[in-house]
């Protein structure tokens, strides 16, 4: 028989083989599969999709999970079972090896929802595996027994060998798929449903039952921080960004206390070590102190910024990862792509339907009990049992009882069947002799009350379902609060946080830059992902990647690391426009550009050359002296040019004419001051970061010497130089521009002396964090103010037997003088207060500050006001304010091409 099949297949394949184009020359053929091969593959693909990888939308289980839960129910006696025993029992239903069943069971157990575990079940934080199945035990949790099982409303099917019955779907009355999440890879498709918060799912189900809108977002057992901005309801194309929780323990130590979903402490540490080896970050060592909670200590070398390192960890390691959800489930034996909102709606509607089925079964059971209890009472109370004494046949007995019942059954809700009469004949004489009519009636009344209650629930099914979900939340919601913090992430630019792990050199005369030119002039430290901006004496500019050796052009005059969107770095240049042309001066920024494209900063005439060039990080404008060549027509051989009088424009502008005469040289007469206003800085509370993009609360205008004051709930004060890479802890209560001469006022509870103290102090060491309350464990900061003259309000407890004491106000300026930060302060009150509040501060007249120069600022660009004089008349050409895109498009200089 097998030989016949092989011959048949060979003939079929030969018929399907066709030569490719040009096949006669090459001998190549294409084989089209059909028949048995095609059917087998489709069967296999369908089996993997339906029976292994993808969960059903009805109960949220994959087949192996459903069979494990069924086996656990069959073995359930309230005691723990060896997992090996459960695995063996499951194999009666699951036609695969014990390893896959054991792994699936550990996965369910680690979610801590359906299975009550005992023993070493592994650690989702460290990635440690569970012990062997013969060493660990399990039983069903109370929650699983409550919401997963009800044999009366379960549809059954034969197991794979026909010896057992297994559930088609379990009657799960809870959005279990969303609570546990699911992940699987099948043939041609995959699924990735992220886990959601238990309490939030119940609240959303209740909102759906009330026909209200709701939103649900994932929640991970590993906690961490997540940005769900692009979650897309869990559909294909969405993305979730997750981060570890990193904080600064001290100036040389970072601590990681939560890991992102999908990562373990081991994978996190490996990624950090790899980034260190590649030079992206620089660390001294890593300590893993994880036990019940995550604690990874990252020790930094001295001189390395902790804030910048935190950003670098997010940029270059697994401390930040992206997850792409994909909501795929099985419905009616077909894959269905659906969002989490629709999943929850369907689950809630199915729960409501299952509750209806349960109630109808209960009502039928109560009605049957009421029916039989009523028949029993009629049978005994009316002594119908005596009518069968003379009957000699079974048929006669049945007819006699039926005849005796007929006058008394008009109030029954359904006809009397032969089965009912048979049950009456089974009543024992002893029970008849002890029959109590009153108790029988009480039982009937109780059944009628239960029937009425169930009927009421069926008529108000939505309210009943809401009460059901509310009970679940009350009974099982404790300890299941959200673990993952929801936050909008700021985008970290890798070039700003990468460690400068290599050195850049330049050969100015020959026109080469690179990291391998170690015999030439050293320029700066850089990283291998930096862009480098280069200017040549001919007035050419180019931005290129860091390389080992790159040719730019001869006579390089400036090389630096390029900062994208940098509006503060200002380039000043004086150049001659071609052979015999006029001399121009211009000031410009380079905020964006096309990489590896050469830009001409002159007008492009042959023979153009730069006389003077500077790159100033804060818009400094120098005072220059221009010397002219001595010719008969020139009377004044020296000119002064103040760059502060020149407008900052785009790099493509021609500039202002300095002179039309021949220039001998240009020299620096006087270094200039910044022509930029102090930088305005905002704090965006949503992402807990500083910015200069007008997002959040304006903190003020900052000069180079200005600092930020930070005070947290633990009584720690510090000042920092404002930096957009700075990180802030969630316990921060004060963040503002620091005024060194303005005192800080604090009221705190001293844990050792057990009384309130008040103090006023100044920051004595700006570069060092200091604690200004006592170091006792029970000491606690109550109030802190940075106002000049704050007033505190004391609210007292009512003493027994006495009238309520009126609130007292205290002017802190009069209460205590400004003292050292380490001073204890003055005793404010010796007992516990009901409340402490700040009242409106007393008026204070601040000294008049010297106003900043009247400059108009657009973003970080600086433009002198209209009243500012200009010494030279600016000329322009048609190309003045344009720059070319990579595709040769003409763009306004304000909308330059973005660097990619």
Count the Cβ atoms, other than its own, within 10 Å of residue 822.
12
> Which residue, among 603, 599, 571, 590, has the nearest Cα to 877 in the 3D structure?
603
Sign of CA dihedral 257, 259, 260, 261: negative
Burial 115-150 (b: 16+ CB within 10 A, else e): bebebebbbbbbeeebeebeebbbbbbebbeebbbe
**3-state DSSP assignment of residue 267:** helix
What token pair was written down for 267? 């994978």
The one catalytic residue among 47, 135, 522, 844: 135
> Which residue, among 114, 69, 129, has the nearest Cα to 93 in the 3D structure?
69
What token pair was written down for 330? 């099985």
What token pair was written down for 703? 């000069």
To the nearest 5 percent, what fractions of the chain are helix, strand and coil? Answer: 30, 30, 45
Bridge partner residues of 626 (DSSP): 639, 666
Three-class SS of 461-498: HHHHHHHHHHHHHHHHCCCCCCCCEECCCCCCCHHHHC
Residues 368, 376: Cα–Cα separation, whole Å: 12
- The answer to whether 557 and 536 have CB atoms below 8 angstroms apart is yes
What token pair was written down for 582? 């006029």
Angle between helices 340-381 and 418-425 (to 10 degrees): 60
Count the Cβ atoms, other than its own, within 10 Å of residue 790.
24
- List of long-range contacts for 838-841, beta carbons under 8 Å, 24+ apart: 838/783, 838/785, 838/790, 838/791, 838/792, 838/793, 839/791, 839/792, 839/793, 839/809, 840/791, 841/785, 841/787, 841/788, 841/789, 841/790, 841/791
User: Is 838 buried (19+), middle (13-18) or exposed (0-12) by CB count in 10 A?
Assistant: middle
What token pair was written down for 594? 């096309």
Residues 230, 45: Cα–Cα separation, whole Å: 31
Catalytic: 627? no
Distances (CA, A) of 527 to 271, 548, 732, 887: 19, 12, 34, 29
The strand ranges marked E within 694-752 are: 697-702, 708-712, 716-720, 732-737, 744-750
Count the Cβ atoms, other than its own, within 10 Å of residue 787.
17
Residue whose structure tokens are 């910048």: 308
> Which residue, among 368, 377, 425, has the nearest Cα to 398 in the 3D structure?
425
- The answer to whether 507 and 541 have CB atoms below 8 angstroms apart is no
Burial 754-773 (b: 16+ CB within 10 A, else e): eebbbbbbebeeeeeebebb
Catalytic residue IDs? 135
């Amino acid at each position: 028989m097998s030989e016949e099949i092989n011959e048949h297949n060979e003939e079929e394949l030969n018929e399907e083989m066709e030569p490719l184009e040009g096949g006669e020359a090459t001998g190549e053929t294409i084989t089209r599969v059909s028949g048995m091969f095609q059917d087998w593959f489709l069967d296999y693909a369908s089996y993997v999709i339906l029976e292994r990888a993808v969960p059903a939308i009805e109960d949220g289980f994959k087949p192996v999970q459903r069979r494990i839960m069924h086996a656990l129910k069959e073995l359930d006696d309230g005691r723990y079972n060896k997992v090996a025993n459960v695995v063996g029992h499951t194999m009666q239903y699951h036609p695969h090896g014990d390893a896959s069943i054991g792994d699936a069971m550990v996965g369910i157990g680690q979610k801590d929802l359906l299975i009550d575990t005992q023993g070493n079940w592994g650690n989702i934080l460290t990635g440690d595996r569970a012990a062997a199945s013969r060493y660990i035990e399990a039983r069903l949790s109370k929650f699983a027994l409550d919401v997963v099982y009800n044999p009366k409303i379960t549809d059954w099917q034969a197991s794979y060998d026909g010896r057992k019955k297994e559930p088609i779907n379990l009657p799960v009355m809870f959005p279990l798929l969303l609570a546990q999440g699911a992940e699987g890879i099948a043939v041609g498709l995959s699924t990735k449903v992220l886990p959601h918060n238990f309490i939030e799912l119940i609240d959303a189900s209740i909102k759906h039952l009330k026909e209200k809108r709701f939103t649900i977002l994932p929640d991970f057992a590993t906690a961490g921080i997540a940005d769900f901005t692009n979650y897309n309801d869990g559909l294909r194309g969405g993305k979730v960004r997750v981060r570890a929780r990193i904080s600064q323990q001290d100036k040389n130590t970072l601590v990681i206390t939560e890991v992102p979903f999908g990562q373990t402490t081991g994978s996190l540490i490996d990624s950090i070590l790899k980034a260190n080896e590649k030079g992206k970050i620089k660390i001294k060592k890593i300590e893993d102190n994880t036990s019940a909670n995550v604690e990874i200590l990252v020790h930094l070398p001295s001189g390395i910024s902790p804030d910048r390192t935190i950003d670098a960890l997010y940029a270059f390691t697994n401390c930040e990862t992206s997850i792409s959800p994909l909501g795929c489930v099985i419905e009616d034996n077909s894959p269905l792509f659906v969002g989490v909102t629709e999943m929850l709606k369907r689950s809630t509607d199915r729960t409501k339907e299952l509750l209806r089925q349960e109630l109808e079964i209960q009502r039928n059971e109560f009605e049957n009990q009421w029916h039989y209890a009523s028949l029993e009472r009629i049978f005994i109370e009316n002594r119908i049992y005596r009518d069968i004494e003379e009957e000699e046949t079974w048929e006669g007995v049945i007819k006699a009882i039926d005849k005796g019942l007929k006058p008394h059954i008009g109030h029954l809700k359904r006809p009397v069947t032969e089965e009912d009469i048979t049950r009456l004949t089974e009543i024992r004489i002893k029970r008849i002799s002890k029959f109590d009519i009153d108790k029988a009636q009480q039982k009937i009344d109780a059944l009628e009350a239960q029937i009425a209650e169930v009927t009421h629930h069926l008529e108000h099914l939505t309210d009943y379902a809401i009460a059901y979900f509310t009970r679940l939340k009350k009974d099982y919601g404790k300890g299941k609060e959200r673990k993952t913090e929801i936050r909008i992430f700021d985008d970290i630019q890798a070039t700003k946080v990468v460690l400068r792990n290599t050195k850049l050199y330049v050969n100015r005369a020959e026109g080469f830059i690179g990291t391998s030119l170690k015999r030439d002039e050293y320029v700066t430290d850089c990283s291998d992902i930096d862009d480098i901006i280069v200017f040549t004496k001919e007035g050419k500019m180019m931005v290129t990647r860091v390389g080992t050796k790159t040719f730019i052009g001869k006579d390089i005059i400036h090389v630096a690391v390029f900062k994208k969107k940098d509006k503060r770095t200002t380039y000043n240049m004086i150049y001659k426009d071609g052979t015999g042309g006029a001399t121009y001066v211009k000031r410009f920024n380079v905020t964006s550009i096309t990489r590896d494209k050469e830009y001409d900063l002159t007008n492009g005439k042959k023979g153009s050359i730069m006389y003077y060039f500077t790159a100033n990080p804060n818009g400094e404008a120098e005072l220059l002296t221009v010397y002219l060549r001595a010719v008969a027509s020139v009377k004044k051989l020296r000119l002064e040019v103040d760059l502060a009088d020149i407008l900052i424009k785009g790099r493509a502008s021609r500039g202002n004419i300095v002179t039309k005469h021949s220039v001998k040289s240009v020299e620096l007469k006087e270094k200039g001051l910044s022509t930029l206003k102090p930088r305005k800085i905002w704090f965006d509370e949503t992402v807990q970061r500083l910015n200069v993009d007008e997002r959040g609360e304006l903190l003020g205008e900052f000069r180079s010497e200005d600092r930020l004051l930070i005070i947290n709930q633990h009584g720690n004060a510090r000042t920092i130089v404002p930096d957009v890479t700075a990180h802030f802890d969630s316990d921060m209560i004060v963040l503002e521009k620091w005024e060194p001469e303005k005192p800080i006022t604090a009221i705190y509870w001293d844990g050792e002396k057990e009384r309130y103290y008040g103090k006023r102090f100044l920051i004595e060491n700006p570069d060092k964090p200091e604690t200004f309350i006592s170091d006792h464990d029970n000491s606690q900061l109550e109030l802190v103010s940075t106002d000049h003259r704050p007033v505190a309000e004391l609210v007292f407890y009512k003493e027994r037997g006495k009238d309520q004491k009126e609130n007292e106000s205290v002017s802190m300026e009069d209460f205590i003088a400004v003292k050292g930060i380490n001073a204890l302060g003055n005793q404010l009150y010796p007992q516990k207060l009901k409340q402490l509040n700040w009242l409106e501060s007393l008026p204070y007249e601040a000294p008049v500050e010297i106003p900043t120069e009247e400059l108009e600022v657009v973003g970080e660009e600086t433009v002198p006001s209209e009243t500012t004089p200009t010494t030279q008349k600016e000329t322009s050409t048609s190309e003045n304010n344009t720059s070319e895109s990579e595709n040769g498009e003409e763009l306004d200089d304000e909308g330059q091409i973005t660097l990619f």
